[in-house]
Structure 1
Amino acid sequence: MTIKRIEPGKRMSEAVIHGNTVYLAGQVATNFDAGITEQVQQVLAAIDDVLAKAGTNKSNVLSMQVILNNIADFAAMNAVYDAWIDPANPPARATIEARLADPRLKVEMIAVAALPN
């Protein structure tokens, strides 16, 4: 089975396709100083972009890991996330609180998706 890497770099790829599955790297906001709502919007837009490059979309997301630097942002994150997901195809999801690479980052998301047949 072949492996395809999307936007490979020295340390990581934005996504890796193996078989019919796409594994996305953790996505973070481009504006580290934005509030939680804007950061979640930016992260989900980045996920949409990487999924499109892989040939799939949010309807095919199998699982999502959400990492918040402050679990108090859970409701605000969900308000944006709930408007983004395909309600007919919600992925399995876990949300945790953890320190992120930069203290200004409020959220990071990691997705795994299927390629359409």
Structure 2
Amino acid sequence: MSVRRIDVGPRMSQAVVHGNTVYLAGQVAADPKADVTGQTEQILAQIDRLLKEAGTDKTKILSTNIWLADMSTFAEMNKAWDAWVSKGNTPARATVESRLAAPDYKVEIACIAAIG
């Protein structure tokens, strides 16, 4: 079974397709100066782009992991998430608080989706 990598970098790929599954790396905001809602919206747009490139979309997301730098921003993140997530196709999801790679990052999201 083949492996296809998307947006390959020296340390990691942004997505990896194996069989009928795509695995997305943790996505962070391109503009980390945005607030939690803004960062989440940016990340979800990146996820849409990567899923499309892999041949699928958000209706096929199986599971999502969300890391927040501060759990008190849970409602702000959910504001963007709830507006974006496909109603009736919500994935299994975990959300935890964690220190992220850089102080300006407030949200990081990774997901796994089916293709086809």
Task: Tell me if TM exceeds 0.5.
Answer: yes
**Structure 1 moving runs of 4+ over 3 Å:** none
Deviations 1:65-90 (A, max 9, x none): 00000000001111110110101100
Say what the alpha-carbon RMSD is for the aligned residues: 0.6
Match of 2:108 in 1: 108
Deviations 1:37-81 (A, max 9, x none): 110100100000100110100000000000000000001111110
Match of 2:78 in 1: 78
TM superposition shift of 1:111: 0.7
Match of 1:89 in 2: 89
Q: Distance in 1 between matches of 2:83 and 2:33?
A: 23
User: For residue 4 of structure 1, what is the amino acid of its counterpart?
Assistant: R
Which residues of structure 2 form unaligned runs of 5+?
none
Q: Distance in 1 between matches of 2:86 and 2:31?
A: 25
TM superposition shift of 1:8: 1.1
Which residues of structure 1 form unaligned runs of 5+?
none
Q: Distance in 1 between matches of 2:71 and 2:110?
A: 17
TM superposition shift of 1:9: 1.3
Q: Distance in 2 between matches of 1:13 and 1:37?
A: 25
SS for the counterpart of 1:39 is: helix
SS for the counterpart of 2:49 is: helix
User: For residue 27 of structure 2, what is the amino acid of its counterpart?
Assistant: Q
Q: Distance in 1 between matches of 2:69 and 2:25?
A: 18
| Percent of aligned pairs sharing the same letter | 52
What is the count of residue pairs matched by the alignment?
116
TM superposition shift of 1:27: 0.5
